[in-house]
Chain A
Amino acid sequence: MRSEPIDPPDISWIRVAPKYITVRLIGWAVSALISLAILSVPLILLLTGVWPGFPAWLAWLLAGGTLVIQVWIGLLIPRQVKAIGYAERDEDLLIRQGIFFQRLMVVPYGRMQYVDVAVGPLERAFKLASVKLHTASPQTNASIPGLPAEEAARLREQLSARGQARLAGL
């Protein structure tokens, strides 16, 4: 992946597991099917003649629009996952994400209050886990999803050890 303008130079990002694309795609497929099913109801009613009075253009727009948007979201998922990266520096952890709206976050080890490791059912099936860092600021939304389970455990231990060594007050 090429370096984006906001990325600092000389950083080699660790990317999340490619399997996470599959996890995200499964989640996307379920939600896309549900929303498509709900928003296609007017079209089905119209075509089966149950509700002939419904404006045809609106029915087609609802169903077609949902389809287009969902396909668009689905096509973005692989690139979004590939855009997630993190890098451990001496004093802090860097996390980047996003394609259109990019974000680069730095969390100093000394500011970490605790580290969460979360695993959902789908992630467990693929042996993945998410690591989330918490500081005293609720705005610190520093989560790294889609890590291989052993990498998540290593990162948690590593972060806790470094946090303890550099612990600062508030």
Chain B
Amino acid sequence: MTIPEGNGPVSPSREVPLTPDRAENWHRVHPVSPFVRGWIALAAMAYFFGRDWFEAMFRGEPLWFLTEGRGIWAVVVLLVVVLLLVGAFVLSWWFTRYQVTEEHVRVNSGILFRQHRQARLDRVQAIDVIQPLLGRIFGLAELKFEVADAGESAVRLAYLPLASAQQLRATILARASGVELDPEHPDEAPEAPEHPIVQLSPQRVVGATVLSGATVALAVVVVVIGVAATVGFVADWGGLPVLLSALVPGMIAVAAGYWSVFSTAYNFRAAVSPDGIRLRYGLLETRAQTVPPGRVQAVAVTQPLLWRTKDWYRIKINVAGYGVSAENSGARTTLLPVGTRDEVMQMLALVLPDPGTEDPFGVFTAGLAGQNNDGGFVTSPPRVRWLSFLTWRRNGFAVTETALLARSGRFVRNLAVVPHERTQSMALHQGPVARKLRVADLQLQTTVGPVSPVVYQMDIDVARRLFNEQSARAAAARRHSVPERWLERRQEIVPEQAGGEHGKAEDEQR
């Protein structure tokens, strides 16, 4: 595919591309962007010089690079470095341009090694609008456009004025959804109306942090310290300080655990709109994520040990564009950081609009907190008791008309939900011990993410039947799956011809 060179007029970023760009229309991001992105380099330089200066001032000595006639050179070097940095920033800004056409979003970047990248709008898996701390000061935001690429963002526009980023997101989603715009005002893509679902109170966030897994780790650390101190004191053992200092990394890990729970859940709000699920959160850096309908590949509801006292749960999702390696993916793949059972049900209803069962509440409640056969779950046979004496009553599965529920975990409860139409492939596993017990594990394979659904230790006949029926169900569901343009009126499903560019961003480098 030939990509237009982009010699046409380039408009400043304040003009939002409301109408589809023609091939020669290009935009630039906000001129301040390179400094927002590059401030770390500038801050590092300031720190490096500033520290020497400070220390020398306190010692009352002249600075080494200002003595013996070196002062003028120091200033020159500093100026050159700053100029080079600023020049690089400005050049990279100047050579980065983007456009959003009817079908594609394109970004050209690079000075020596030019990169032309385009992604199809209807392949969008998620759109994030991110405001780092410095971006919030300038009122700027970054827009991330994700396709099924498991990690690397297809398109990152950093930075746009916040209002422009939001308008651009609405435009992209409107075009990607295939919605029919008002014929009298074809250039207005209104932001889809939102309906708030969940908002986390500060008390809940603090409570969730205090009761998180980090507290369990902290308790272990405290016990270890106590035992070691007692033993060391009694035995008059010289190695005690060494042991205690080894606990410092442990304490740092505990603090990091608290921080990650707190910063993810802080000011968390979830809403639903025709364009999908909207999630907003963040303490220093704020994010607004949009996941269009049908983009969630798998869901896991977990309950850490101490949350059981409050009946709280956490929901994680697999979205093809998010991956695991990308920065902040732990927060990005969280659909609900902490929620009551009712809130969990509401969020599950968003992800799985048609639960495919008469009594969704009963089935999912059994999946969250039940055991044995309540809610129609099938569990491991009793003969695996001696092998998994804690979990055999929990390990199990239930099938609705639209999804498979895999339940596991006794102390840390876990429920994985995979819509039939999102099943990628499946595998039955059986080791030597499992063969003796005539059981097998069924693994449902989904895209990269925190959810990996497995049905553990099913009777071999049950597992084999599930395997067969599930592949048939998945095949049937694929034929009736929601179209990628989610608001487009349904048509007869025509097999697509082009398989090569399937869901990938197209790169061209030279």
A-B contact sample (12 more), CB < 8 A, given A5-B430, A108-B475, A140-B445: A5-B435, A6-B464, A102-B428, A102-B429, A104-B467, A106-B471, A111-B424, A113-B502, A135-B445, A166-B495, A167-B499, A169-B503
In contact, A101 and B460 (Cβ under 8 angstroms): no
Q: Is A145 an interface residue (CB 8 A)?
A: no
Given A169-B484, A170-B320, A170-B447, are A135 and B424 also a contact pair (CB < 8 Å)?
A: yes
In contact, B438 and A5 (Cβ under 8 angstroms): yes
Q: Which of A73-120 contact B (CB under 8 A)?
A: 91-92, 100-108, 110-111, 113
Q: CB-CB < 8 A to B249: which residues of A? A: none
Q: CB-CB < 8 A to A111: which residues of B? A: 424-425
Distance of A142 Cα from B62 Cα, bound (Å) = 68
Our count of residue pairs bridging A and B at CB distance below 8 angstroms stands at: 111
In contact, A167 and B430 (Cβ under 8 angstroms): no
Q: CB-CB < 8 A to B351: which residues of A? A: none
In contact, A139 and B429 (Cβ under 8 angstroms): no
Distance of A168 Cα from B423 Cα, bound (Å) = 11
- Which one of A106, A111, A164 has the greatest number of beta carbons of chain B within 10 Å? A106
In contact, B496 and A167 (Cβ under 8 angstroms): yes
Q: Is A8 an interface residue (CB 8 A)?
A: yes
On B, residues with C-beta under 8 Å from A are: 125, 148, 150, 295, 297, 320, 421-432, 435, 438, 440, 443, 445-448, 452, 460, 463-464, 467-468, 471-472, 474-475, 478, 481, 484, 495-497, 499, 502-503
A167 to B: closest C-beta gap in Å: 5
In contact, A167 and B438 (Cβ under 8 angstroms): no
A106 to B: closest C-beta gap in Å: 5
Q: CB-CB < 8 A to B440: which residues of A? A: 5-6
Q: CB-CB < 8 A to B424: which residues of A? A: 108, 111, 135-137, 140
Q: CB-CB < 8 A to B320: which residues of A? A: 136, 170
Q: CB-CB < 8 A to A106: which residues of B? A: 425-427, 467, 471
Q: Is A163 an interface residue (CB 8 A)?
A: yes
15 contacts between A and B (CB under 8 A): A5-B435, A8-B464, A91-B472, A91-B475, A101-B429, A101-B430, A105-B426, A106-B427, A107-B425, A108-B475, A113-B503, A139-B446, A165-B495, A167-B502, A168-B478
A85 to B: closest C-beta gap in Å: 14
Closest residue of A by beta carbon distance from B496: A167
In contact, A6 and B460 (Cβ under 8 angstroms): yes
Q: Which secondary structure dominates where chain A touches chain B?
A: loop
- Which one of B426, B443, B468 has the greatest number of beta carbons of chain A within 10 Å? B426
Distance of A100 Cα from B430 Cα, bound (Å) = 8
> Number of A residues whose C-beta is below 8 Å from B?
32
**Contact with B495, one of A100, A136, A140, A167 (Cβ below 8 angstroms):** A167
Distance of A101 Cα from B425 Cα, bound (Å) = 19
Closest residue of B by beta carbon distance from A92: B471
In contact, B427 and A164 (Cβ under 8 angstroms): no
**Contact with B429, one of A103, A113, A135, A163 (Cβ below 8 angstroms):** A103
In contact, B471 and A102 (Cβ under 8 angstroms): no
Distance of A16 Cα from B428 Cα, bound (Å) = 20
Closest residue of B by beta carbon distance from A165: B495
Distance of A146 Cα from B322 Cα, bound (Å) = 35
Closest 5 pairs (CB-CB, A-B): A137-B424, A137-B445, A105-B427, A139-B445, A104-B428
Q: CB-CB < 8 A to B429: which residues of A? A: 101-103
Q: CB-CB < 8 A to A5: which residues of B? A: 430, 435, 438, 440, 460
Q: Is A121 an interface residue (CB 8 A)?
A: no
